[in-house]
Amino acid sequence: MPHKLKGAAPGLLCVAIARPDTGAAIQAARQAQAFADVIEIRLDSLAEPAIAPFLQAIATPLLFTNRPRWEGGQGDGPEEKRLALLLQAVQAGAAYVDIELNSEQAAVQGLCAAARQQGGTQVIVSWHNFSETPGVAALTDIFSRQRSSGAQIGKIVTMAHDFTDVLRVLQLQEEAHRHGFPLIAFCMGRAGMISRLATLELGGFMTYAALNADEATAPGQLAALELLNCLKSFGHAD
């Protein structure tokens, strides 16, 4: 699929889909194909989570996420079952899977090892804080742990209360560039909305958007077409 972003913004646009019914989620993903580089399927939102139906129906690269409640998701079942779905996605050849940095270390390492063996899946190791943005030292430590995790891509997303929070998170892109480690880094909340665009200008690997304003999966998440219209003003969107 051709890149939807062009010019000086090399990052990807991921549209997040979080619907309770598999058929409805596939329908939404099909709508997103027109403007998404990657489509995130939130398994934790599905009443009956599955991998194969999405891979069979959607040609756009898919990212499977199964977010637990302890990191802002809806998943509240056994941890073994939650992680087994991510392993299933790897084995089925999904383009990306997302696993939380604060998952059991053995689980993170095992998923990364399976992805390397499979060869077709990139692992995103993520860390979210829905209440605040930590200080520089804490953020740098999280980034360092992500680099050491075995994953190919890091993701750090925090709640911003003012511009200083946003600047601390976006500054991580300089560190990521120095180490050659792809990083997704931006902020949630009203103060963080600008970072969802700015992260691409600063070399961020990917930013996230909703299919529409009513289906945002995080505070401050923009609708995809709204985000693309903003990027057009910078000359980066087709």
DSSP state of 8: T
DSSP state of 68: B
pLDDT for residue 24 is more than 80: yes
Residue 147, C-beta contacts closer than 8 angstroms, at least 6 positions apart: 154, 179, 181
The reported pLDDT for the residue numbered 2 is 38
Whether the Cβ atoms of residue 61 and residue 38 lie closer than 8 Å to each other: yes
DSSP state of 213: G
Q: Confidence class of residue 212 from pLDDT cuts 50, 70 and 90? A: confident
Whether the Cβ atoms of residue 197 and residue 231 lie closer than 8 Å to each other: yes
Measured in degrees and rounded to the nearest 5, phi and psi for residue 7 equal: 80, -140
Residue 2, C-beta contacts closer than 8 angstroms, at least 6 positions apart: 238
Residue 176, C-beta contacts closer than 8 angstroms, at least 6 positions apart: 143, 154, 182, 183, 185, 203
Is 128 noted as a catalytic residue in this protein?
Answer: yes
Whether the Cβ atoms of residue 185 and residue 158 lie closer than 8 Å to each other: no
Handedness of CA 84, 85, 90, 92 (dihedral sign): positive
* E strand segments, 38-182: 38-42, 62-65, 96-100, 122-129, 153-159
- Catalytic position from the list 3, 155, 161, 236: 155
To 10 degrees, what angle do helices 136-147 and 172-179 make? 30
Helix (H, G, I), strand (E, B) or coil at 24: helix
The reported pLDDT for the residue numbered 236 is 57
Q: Confidence class of residue 146 from pLDDT cuts 50, 70 and 90? A: very high
H or E, element range at 142: helix 136-147
Q: Looking at the domain 12-125+192-233, which fold is it?
A: TIM Barrel (3.20.20)
Q: Where are the domains of the chain?
A: 12-125+192-233
Enter the pTM of the model: 0.92
pLDDT for residue 6 is more than 80: no
pLDDT for residue 10 is more than 70: no
**pLDDT tens per residue, range 40-99:** 999 999 999 999 999 999 999 999 999 999 988 887 878 889 999 999 999 999 999 999
Give dist(CA 115, CA 93) in Å, integer. 9
**pLDDT tens per residue, range 178-191:** 999 999 999 999 99
Is 161 noted as a catalytic residue in this protein?
Answer: no
Angstrom CA distances, 140 to 53, 92, 143, 146, 211, stand at: 38, 34, 5, 10, 32
**pLDDT tens per residue, range 213-237:** 788 777 778 888 888 888 877 665 5
The reported pLDDT for the residue numbered 237 is 54
